């Protein structure tokens, strides 16, 4: 097992430099072997963190040594030095407090802001959890459960997860169809309708239902309980369509990650906040669902093009 070892020493009168270095080292998740001696696993991101401190210490008139060490034998559990269980326990308590608040009040006021803050804290913690264990999974699942509970309260008619096999389907069997979903669509339904018309059924017609029970027998329902296509396992409907119609584009998978987060929570995509704001604005200003789909389709077209460009540069 290889590690990076950073040894630094700063003049005692350089208080600002010492504080800056300490904050950077703490943010990197480094283990403290002793005062001025720090350890990180050998990873590109960890090397970049230590190099930044190395340069800053030298610029501040201090001494710095950055070494790669290969540990053959040790009496110390080095991986244990990076254990984050205590941090996860604190975060889990914060999540449980919000869960109790939601359960007792039944009100959404401020809940999503708190969830966003919790998600940010979890992302920061997992970024420096170099040897993850069950604690990370426990907290991740607790936060996902909280997100889903809040979204169910916001949209009580959202489909429930069911077990099922995502058997492949032929696009040729799904042409010129009538597709139906709940009216006033939000991100999963909008993304599904865009995907259907763009990649599955070019001449698809859409019916916006007042209630799922009003779905005609000849229509292909999506994103409601009992529909032909809905949530399966941990997949949202958009992801189910991708898998069943075997749509494998890298850009579509990135759209799927975005839709998944905005619909049921999970790992936050970088574009999530901006896309959510745009879609909310469109939903508020466009009362006709066909017009809303047309406008939202432009957003998803742009996202797909941007993701394709990013993939091409890699």
Higher pLDDT, 161 or 205: 205
- Asked whether residue 250 carries a pLDDT value surpassing 50, the answer given is yes
Q: What pLDDT is attached to residue 193?
A: 98
Residue 97 shares a structural domain with residue 202: no
Shared domain check, 53 and 41: yes
pLDDT at 313: 47
Tell me the C-alpha to C-alpha distance, in Å, between residue 90 and each of 32, 84, 122, 149, 153: 21, 10, 11, 21, 26
CA distances (Å), 261 to each of 55, 89, 98, in order?
38, 24, 19
Look up tokens 């960890």; give the residue.
46
- pLDDT for 173 equals 97
Of the listed ranges 122-131, 139-148, 251-260, the one predicted with least confidence: 139-148
Residue 58: partners with Cβ closer than 8 Å, 6 or more residues away: 64
pLDDT digits (tens, 9 = 90+) for 280-304: 999 999 999 999 999 999 999 999 9
Please report the pLDDT score of residue 58 as a whole number.
94
pLDDT band at 157 (very low <50, low <70, confident <90, very high): low
Q: Does residue 7 form part of some domain?
A: yes
Calculate the average pLDDT of the chain: 91
Q: What pLDDT is recorded for position 311? A: 67
User: How many other C-beta atoms can be found within 10 angstroms of the C-beta atom of residue 170?
Assistant: 8
Whether residue 120 sits in one domain with residue 42: no
Q: Are residues 214 and 103 in the same domain?
A: no
Q: Do residues 49 and 180 both lie within one domain?
A: no
Report pLDDT for 155.
Answer: 67
- The verdict on residue 162 lying in a domain is no
Domain boundary among 106, 126, 154: 154
Tell me the average pLDDT across 196-216: 95
Assess whether 213 and 145 both reside in one domain. no
Q: What is the mean pLDDT of residues 133-138?
A: 93
Q: Which of 154, 185, 215 is the last residue of a domain?
A: 154
Q: Enter the tokens of residue 237.
A: 């409907």
8 Å CB contact between 50 and 4: yes
When pLDDT is averaged across residues 15-20 and rounded to a whole number, the result is 92
- Could you tell me if 290 and 196 lie in one domain? yes
Could you tell me if 185 and 286 lie in one domain?
Answer: yes
- Please indicate, yes or no, if residue 62 is contained in any of the structural domains: yes
pLDDT at 85: 94
Whether residues 214 and 271 fall in one domain: yes
Q: Is residue 123 part of a domain?
A: yes
Cβ 98 vs Cβ 114: under 8 Å: yes
Mean pLDDT of 15-35: 94
On whether residue 159 sits in a domain, the answer given is no
Q: What mean pLDDT do residues 77-82 have? A: 88
Question: 178-182 and 220-221 as β-strands: parallel, antiparallel, unpaired?
Answer: parallel
Of the candidates 217, 86, 204, 197, the residue with the CA atom closest to the CA atom of residue 139: 86
User: What is the number of other CB atoms lying within 10 angstroms of the CB of residue 71?
Assistant: 11
Q: What is the pLDDT of residue 113?
A: 86
Q: Which residue has the higher pLDDT, 273 or 242?
A: 242
Same domain, 43 and 99: no
Q: Quick one: 223 and 114 in the same domain?
A: no
Task: Give start and end residues of each alpha helix (H) in the chain.
Answer: 15-28, 44-59, 85-105, 111-127, 134-154, 187-195, 237-244, 250-264, 272-285, 289-313
Which whole number is the average pLDDT over 103-123?
85
* CATH number assigned to the domain comprising residue 51: 3.30.70.240
Residue 142 lies in a domain: yes
End position of a domain, from candidates 154, 180, 199:
154
Q: Per the domain annotation, does 255 fall within a domain?
A: yes
Domain count, the chain: 3
Alpha-carbon span 14 to 181, nearest angstrom: 64
pTM of the model: 0.61
Measured CA to CA in angstroms, residue 297 lies from 13, 29, 175, 182, 282 at distances of 59, 41, 19, 17, 11
Spatial separation of the C-alpha atoms in residues 304 and 190, rounded to whole Å: 14
Nearest to 264 by CA among 207, 194, 188, 165: 188
How far apart, in whole angstroms, are the C-alpha atoms of residue 258 and residue 122? 18
- Write the DSSP assignment of 97-162 as a string of letters: HHHHHHHHH---TTHHHHHHHHHHHHHHHHHT-SS--HHHHHHHHHHHHHHHHHHHHH-TTSPPPB
Exposure letters 259-296 (e unless 16+ CB within 10 A, then b): bbbbbbbbebbebbeebeebbeebbeeeeebeebbebb
Query: Does residue 181 lie within any of the structural domains?
Result: yes
| Residues 301 and 252 grouped into a single domain | yes
Per the structure, the complete domain to which residue 121 belongs is given by 83-154
């Amino acid at each position: 097992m290889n590690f990076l070892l950073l040894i630094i020493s700063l003049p005692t009168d350089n208080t600002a430099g010492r504080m800056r270095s300490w904050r950077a080292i703490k943010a990197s998740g480094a283990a403290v072997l002793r005062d001025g001696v720090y350890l990180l696993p050998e990873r590109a991101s960890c090397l970049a963190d230590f190099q930044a401190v190395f340069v800053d210490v030298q610029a501040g008139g201090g001494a710095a040594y950055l070494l790669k060490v290969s540990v053959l034998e040790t009496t110390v559990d080095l991986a244990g030095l990076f254990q984050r269980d205590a941090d996860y326990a604190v975060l889990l308590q914060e999540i449980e407090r919000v869960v109790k608040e939601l359960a007792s009040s039944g009100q959404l006021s401020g809940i999503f802001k708190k969830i966003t803050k919790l998600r940010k804290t979890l992302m920061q913690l997992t970024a420096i959890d170099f040897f993850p264990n069950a604690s990370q999974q426990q907290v991740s699942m607790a936060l996902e459960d909280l997100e889903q509970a809040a979204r169910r309260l916001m949209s009580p008619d959202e489909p429930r997860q069911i077990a099922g096999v995502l058997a492949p389907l032929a696009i040729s069997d799904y042409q010129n169809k009538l597709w139906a979903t709940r009216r006033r669509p939000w991100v999963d339904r909008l993304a599904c309708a865009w995907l259907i018309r763009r990649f599955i059924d070019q001449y698809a017609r859409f019916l916006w239902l007042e209630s799922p029970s009003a779905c005609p027998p000849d229509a292909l329902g999506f994103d409601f309980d009992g529909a032909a296509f809905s949530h399966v396992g941990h997949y949202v409907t958009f992801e189910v369509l991708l898998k069943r119609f075997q749509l494998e584009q890298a850009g579509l998978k990135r759209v799927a990650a975005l839709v998944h987060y905005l619909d049921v929570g999970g790992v936050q995509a970088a574009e999530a906040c901006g896309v959510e704001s745009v879609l909310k604005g469109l939903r508020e200003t466009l009362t006709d669902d066909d017009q809303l789909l047309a406008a939202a389709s432009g957003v998803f077209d742009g996202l797909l093009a941007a993701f394709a460009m990013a993939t091409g540069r890699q």
